[in-house]
Amino acid sequence: MNNFRLFGLEGSRPFAQRVARYLDVPLSRHVESWFADSEPYVRSDVNVRGCDVYVISSLYGDAEQTVSEKFTKLLFFIGSLVDASARRITVVAPYLPYARQDRKTESRAPISIKYFAQCIEAVGANRVLTMDVHNLSAMQNAFRIPTDNLESKNLIADFLCGVDTGADTDGVPCPVDHHIECPLVNCSGGLVVLAPDSGGMGRARRFRNALERRLGLANQIGVVYLDKERSTSGQVKGSKIVGDVTGRQVIILDDMISSGSTVALSADAVRQHDGEVWAICATHGMFVGRAAEHLAGIDRIVVTDTIVPFQVNGSPWEGRLHVIPTAMMFAQAIRRTHEEGGSISDLLKS
């Protein structure tokens, strides 16, 4: 592709390498280091004048860098690209932080996604590409520059139905599963998709539709939600399910698994209503805090690689945790964004 540069900042470099391979372009060189007092230094090591530049950085905290460190480094890098006369800069953040802080929940509470967006815009970014943001409307209202939100529903539906992802790592590290034992095509009994709250019903319905297309069903998979509430201390409570799961096999779907408390609450509610938890699915898997404890007893946990599951270690997760690659979808989205007339909407439908 002409006048095209693709960068992968540290923490997302293996992911960026996979995207570059699908695009059949080299990953552009850059310099990234730290001063002795942990002050970041980052710049492009190639000419970007007049180029369309895509910067990949999944902004989650890991064992090496915090969210703030990754975000600060990203801002400085975008600013340096603007000063180097890049024509257009697209931030590719498979996981977008601060999206849960999208409104005032109490007096003087911050609306952090708004401040995040203002920072991205202030340094000169032209576009943001992400996946399954926590609150799509809030993100779109926070940003004044164009934003594209990819959805993992088709990737997860393919995986659960036993469709080979077709992801060939080609030597590039990738935590990928190609199959699931006992896929949904062999599942007997009625299926239900459960959203952990009413706000997730739209996501659950779109996922239900994707499943029905693959299973050749029509209006046979139910969609329900957990009627929960969150206290001022952040504790989630609730066991009432709006909809029927009795005698059904339930797929719990959320945008992220953090400590696992919300999906664990949902799983307990399903059991109380005489349903069976078939799988827990989410786009972003953080697995922080007491996640291992909260998710004990769940046979199938499915996430994507927008966040590398660095917190997950040892036998308790083996055979239970499945990680689906997303680099191919991001590569297709980048190509469609770069090429004139490309459609992200068509990509989401495919």
CATH code assigned at 194: 3.40.50.2020
Specify whether 275 is located in the same domain as 305. yes
Per the structure, the count of domains in the chain is: 2
Token code pair at residue 274: 């005489």
pLDDT at site 300: 92
Specify whether 201 is located in the same domain as 242. yes
156 close to 339: Cβ distance less than 8 angstroms:
no
Token code pair at residue 56: 């990949």
pLDDT at site 106: 83
- Per-residue pLDDT of 279-327, as tens digits, reads 999 999 999 989 989 999 898 999 999 999 888 876 678 788 999 999 9
pTM over cut 0.85 = yes
Enclosing domain of residue 222:
153-325
Q: How far apart are the first and last CA of the chain?
A: 23
Specify whether 290 is located in the same domain as 335. no
Specify whether 341 is located in the same domain as 296. no
Specify whether 218 is located in the same domain as 119. no
Specify whether 266 is located in the same domain as 187. yes
Burial of residue 310 (CB within 10 Å: 0-12, 13-18, 19+) is middle
Burial of residue 181 (CB within 10 Å: 0-12, 13-18, 19+) is exposed
Mean pLDDT over all residues of the chain? Answer: 89
Specify whether 122 is located in the same domain as 219. no
Specify whether 32 is located in the same domain as 142. yes
Specify whether 285 is located in the same domain as 195. yes
Give 187's pLDDT tier (boundaries 50, 70, 90): low
Residue 173 reports pLDDT greater than 50: no
pLDDT at site 219: 85
Specify whether 250 is located in the same domain as 304. yes
Query: In angstroms, rounded to a whole number, what is the distance separating the alpha carbons of residues 215 and 210?
Result: 9
Q: Which of 70, 153, 228, 349 is catalytic?
A: 228
pLDDT at site 176: 46
Query: Hey, how many other C-beta atoms are within 10 angstroms of the C-beta on 313?
Result: 10
Q: Is 228 a catalytic residue?
A: yes
Specify whether 228 is located in the same domain as 179. yes
